[in-house]
Chain A
Amino acid sequence: MAALGGSVARRYAKALFGLGLAEGTYDKLGQELDVLARTYEGSADLRLALENPVIKPSEKLSILRALLPRIAPSLPVQRFALLLLERGRITQLRAIARAYRELADSRAGQVRATITAAAPLSPGDLDRVRRALEKRTGKKVIIETAVDANLIGGIVARVGDLVLDGSVRAQLEEMRRRLLN
């Protein structure tokens, strides 16, 4: 189901990316799409209003039309959001934004990496990690950070579909697996 959703999101993202690429505004469209997705994910009231089957589709369109100019000024993004609402794909907005970003990064020859550590890393450590990941992937890496105390120690880097786990938690799990086997 997730793969199916990913496929759908990639298809919609590719359509909008093609439009932005043709107009030379794919970066701007990506930013607006990302803001729209964050807003949708962050607002429970908005999700409830747009996903509730009791509310009429026309009312949902009116709500979204009222919001869109403030969130996404570009006309293609507004039309794209209304199209997603009409097709019942508004719930895929976050995945579509992620797929769009991947397309844009791929176009720019860069890749995003999420670095999760047990404690916040210093800028120098992050720069070391970024360089190591760039050497590994051969692409420019854009770092995003997160903190998870359950890791106990070490870091976990997620680059696209690849996960590099150097945490103490992972080593404990590996030790547990060996003990059981």
Chain B
Amino acid sequence: MRRFSLAFTGPRLMNGLAMDNREPQGRGQRSGGTAAGAVRAVMLILVAIALTVSPAISFAAEPAPPVEVGAGDNAAHAVAAEHQPGEHPVAGEHEGAEHEAGPPSINFKALGLQLLNFAVLLVILVKFGGGAINKALSARHQQLKADLASAAELRALAEAKLSKQEARLASLEHEIGEMRRGIKSEAEAEKARLISAAEERAVRIKSETAFLVEQQVREAAGRLRREAADTALKVAEEILRRSVGAGDQQRLLDTFVSDVEMPAAPAAGTGTAGRAA
């Protein structure tokens, strides 16, 4: 019965210890300081020791065997007796040998001294090592809490980043479409601008060309007119040189005299032009 209790209590103890460490991780809201946890751990250790020792005590309370043996040997036999027959072949062989030697006896005095010694040890450990243990456990607890908080924060960041990337990935197609439309509209605008510039340049070139042509035509017409005038004057001068005689000279003189005698300036076409020298 106590053996079952030990077997059942051992995993629970270890489980309890583990749960004690896990509790702040999972919930993080549980009350109780680090010191209380450390005290509980120590108490659990003590209970575990007591439960470990109690079977030996109960076994020692049974009738003493005829042959006296040492307490250490009895304990070894007691532990060996906990195994089921057939479960361990070697243990079975030892069991057969012990039945032949009889049940071991317990020296209560030595056991009491050992328990007292152990209790004193525990008191000393709790008295002087409790603070350090508490401190170490508290530091460990705080470290674990900080690590858990950091991990949670990193996880939140990662999840946010993931959601952002997923959202961006989801909108990537839309962005590509927008970019394509933007590029297309820019290309259309550039095309329109180039066409407009080309048309403007064409108009300007056409205008300049027309102006140049007009200038050249005008210049050619002027040159032609000058040449025609020069030719006409040359022909007229030759004709006049041949044809002007004394009568013409006299007529010209008469015209000059009559023009000079006129009080006003000579009219155009009269033959005498007045000008300042």
Contact = CB atoms under 8 A, between A and B. Distances in A.
Given A132-B260, A132-B261, A176-B230, A154 B249 contact: yes
A24 interface: no
Interface of B: 222, 225-226, 228-230, 232-233, 236-237, 240-241, 244, 248-250, 252-253, 255-257, 259-261, 266, 271-277
A168 B73 CA distance: 171
Contacts of A81: none
Given A166-B259, A168-B252, A153 B240 contact: yes
Given A152-B241, A153-B249, A180-B225, A129 B277 contact: no
A179 B240 contact: no
Interface string A138-170: 000000000000001111011011111111101
Interface core residue of A119, A125, A132, A153 (most chain B CB under 10 Å)? A153
B253 A164 contact: no
Nearest to B232: A179
Interface in A116-138: 117-119, 121, 125, 128-129, 132-133, 135-136
B252 A175 contact: no
A174 interface: yes
B255 A166 contact: yes
B229 A179 contact: yes
B220 to A, nearest CB: 14
A171 interface: yes
A152 B239 CA distance: 10
Given A128-B253, A166-B272, A176 B233 contact: yes
A28 B237 CA distance: 46
B190 to A, nearest CB: 54
A166 B229 contact: no
Contacts of B229: 176, 179-180
Nearest to A118: B249
Given A129-B256, A132-B261, 12 more contacts: A128-B253, A154-B253, A155-B252, A160-B277, A162-B277, A163-B277, A165-B273, A168-B244, A171-B271, A172-B237, A172-B240, A176-B229
Nearest to B255: A166
B269 to A, nearest CB: 8
Contacts of A135: 260-261
B205 to A, nearest CB: 33
Contacts of A162: 274-277
A170 B248 CA distance: 15
Contacts of B232: 175, 179
- Name the 6 nearest CB pairs between A and B, nearest first: A166-B256, A166-B272, A154-B252, A179-B229, A132-B260, A153-B244
B233 to A, nearest CB: 5
9 contacts: A118-B244, A132-B257, A152-B237, A154-B253, A155-B256, A161-B277, A166-B272, A172-B236, A179-B225
A167 B241 CA distance: 13
B249 A165 contact: no
Contacts of A171: 271
B271 A166 contact: yes
